[in-house]
């Protein structure tokens, strides 16, 4: 049986879950914009260089929640029209 890790984020009443491979940990970071070198990518807030030199992409949780909310609204509208 495979274990599933679910990270839940958001605010009360507007939470979503994201299935991840594993949780590495929690740390304070500085988020740098990637827009200077790349086009804006919906759902990505920026990037951070970790203490060991690896680059980590930072999710834009507000954009992700908005995307899920729009999809749910569209699905509800389609169901009601059927």
**Tens-digit pLDDT profile for residues 30-65:** 888 887 777 778 888 899 998 899 988 888 888 888
Q: Mean pLDDT over all residues of the chain? A: 81
What percent of the chain stands above pLDDT 90? 7
What are the angstrom distances between the C-alpha of 67 and each of 8, 59, 62, 75?
A: 16, 13, 9, 12
- pLDDT for residue 15: 81
Answer whether residue 76 shows pLDDT above 70: no
Closest CA to 42 of 61, 16, 18, 20: 61
Higher pLDDT residue, 4 or 10?
4
């Amino acid at each position: 049986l495979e274990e599933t890790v679910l990270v839940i984020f958001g605010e009360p009443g507007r939470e979503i879950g994201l299935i991840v491979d594993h949780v590495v940990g929690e740390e304070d970071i500085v988020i740098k914009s990637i827009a200077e070198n790349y086009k804006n990518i919906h759902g990505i807030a920026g990037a951070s260089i970790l203490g060991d030199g690896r680059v980590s992409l930072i999710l834009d949780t507000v954009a992700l929640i908005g995307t899920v909310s729009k999809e749910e609204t569209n699905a509800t509208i389609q169901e009601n029209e059927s």
